[in-house]
Amino acid sequence: MRLRLERREHTPAWFGLALPLAAVLATLVLCAGLIVLAGANVFTAYASLFLSAVSSKFNLVETVVKAAPLVFTGLAVAVAFRAKFWNIGAEGQLLAGAMAAAFVGAREGMPDWSLVPTMILAGAAAGALWAALPALLKTRYKVDDVVTTLLLNFVIFYIMTALLDGPWKDPLSGYPDSPDIRMEAEFPILMRATRLHLGVLLALLAAPAVWWVMRRTTLGFAIRVVGENPTAARYGGHNITAVILVTALLSGALAGLAGVGEVGGLHFQVMAGLSPGYGYTGIVIAMLARLNPLGVLPAAFFFAVVVTGAESMSRATGVPVFLADVIQGTALISMLVALLFTNYRLRVVGSGHV
């Protein structure tokens, strides 16, 4: 007896929900081994990991706030991957957006009311431009987008570090932090005594908006067709170069907004640890959501729970917080394996059969 993969003709509709759930379940089972190795009880550890993040109103709001940048980067990746523009650079586009927001937010002499909208626009534009660079290289010179988007993350990170160690360095303390943005540039808080800021609302609205663009507009149609079969798209009269460029701009703008929210709503400045890898987590989120913009919401929430819950799990059980990273990586691999089953089925081949 042995197992073999066979192409399947139809993918059942319920797979859309079942595959991510199965992948998450597989991840938790796989990571349980590590918890045992760390000398903790698996159930206690998972209980504190998942329950602490939602146990109180305060913790829940904090988790939602953490989810906001993940929603944006998840959407950024979901849009790009639909067109098979392999944007691994949401991390860098996020930093570009954050820097633009910090720059605009600290400007004196602009009318107070214009600060927040200008920050949002500038951050989106900066992210879009940073994503346009690899898109131009791809469409014009056929340079591999995986490589360029990934490497540009490091380029912009070091540009940011140079700014923080140079022009933006705090002249008094000497800390590598950018100057704080003006009070008037801070995002309004939506719920008293919490950190629930405007950026969270934008993230929540962005998901259905992106879904609408992808499903109900000719642009979304073109993005899907170019991703699935660029040759048929070209013969059908679609301009592939333009579609990939617009996709990159849209994707980069979304990632840039993740950075804007972090600066405008949370940190009010740029510092080296601004993003603990939100751009990369966005890839896992987009895959778990099967590139569906609406699916990005629960997927981002799940990882926000894991990231915030890891702290209290660590305090309660002594399991290192790095488990959160392992869960992310394992979830990505599990989901990639699970996606195999959209096109294939597993068959047990007995020796008695042909």
Partner 1 sequence: MTTAMSSPPLLAMRGIRKSFGAVWANDDVDLTLWPGDILGLLGENGAGKTTLMNVLFGVYSADAGRIEIAGKPVVIRDSADAIGCGIGMVHQHFHLVPRHTVLENLMVGRKGRHGRLDRAAARRRLDGIATRYRLRLDADALVGDLTIGEQQRLEIVKALFQGARILILDEPTAALTPQEAEGLFDALRAMSREGMGVIFISHKLNEVRAVTNRVMVMRQGVVVAPETDPRKTSERELAELMCGHELTPPVKPATEPGRVLLRLSGLRTSGEGQRGLRDVSLEVRAGEVLGIAGVSGNGQRELADVVAGVLAPSAGTIEVDGRPVPRPSPRTMQELGIGRIPEDRLGTGLVTGLPLSDSMVLPWIGRPPFSRRGVLDRGAIRAFVEEQMARYGIHAAGPEARTGTLSGGNLQKALLARELAHDPLVVLASQPTRGLDVAAAEFVHRRFLDLRGRDRAILLISEDLEELFALSDRIAVMYEGRIMAVLPIAEATVQRVGLMMTGVSEAA
Helix (H, G, I), strand (E, B) or coil at 348: strand
From 113, 142, 167, 231, residue interacting with partner 1 (rule: CB under 8 A): 231
Applying CB under 8 A, the span of 107-115, 216-224, 246-254, 285-293 interacting with partner 1 comes to 216-224
From 36, 143, 232, 340, residue interacting with partner 1 (rule: CB under 8 A): 232
d(CA 271, CA 286): 26
Applying CB under 8 A, the span of 9-17, 49-57, 93-101, 143-151 interacting with partner 1 comes to 9-17
* Shortest distance in whole angstroms from residue 109 CB to partner 1: 38
Q: Which is nearer to partner 1, 315 or 347 (CB)?
A: 347
Q: Which is nearer to partner 1, 41 or 217 (CB)?
A: 217
d(CA 299, CA 332): 12
From 61, 132, 234, 316, residue interacting with partner 1 (rule: CB under 8 A): 234
Which helix (H) or strand (E) segment is 39 a member of?
none
| Residue 9 binds partner 1 (CB under 8 A) | yes
Q: Which is nearer to partner 1, 57 or 215 (CB)?
A: 215
| Residue 3 binds partner 1 (CB under 8 A) | no
* CA atoms within 13 Å, Cβ hemisphere of 32: 13
Rg of the chain taking only CA atoms, in angstroms: 22
d(CA 124, CA 254): 7
From 115, 225, 296, 306, residue interacting with partner 1 (rule: CB under 8 A): 225
Contacts of 216 (CB under 8 A, 6+ apart): none
Cα–Cα nearest to 288, from 331, 329, 326, 324: 331
From 5, 143, 228, 318, residue interacting with partner 1 (rule: CB under 8 A): 228
Distance of CA 303 to the CA centre of its chain: 10
Interacting positions 25-84 with partner 1 (CB under 8 A): none
| Residue 315 binds partner 1 (CB under 8 A) | no
| Residue 353 binds partner 1 (CB under 8 A) | yes
CB 63 within 8 A of CB 274: no
Strands (E), 78-183: none
d(CA 87, CA 248): 8
| Residue 233 binds partner 1 (CB under 8 A) | yes
In the complex, which residues of this chain contact partner 1 (CB under 8 A)? Answer: 2, 4, 6, 8-11, 215-219, 221-222, 224-225, 228-229, 231-237, 347, 349, 351, 353-354
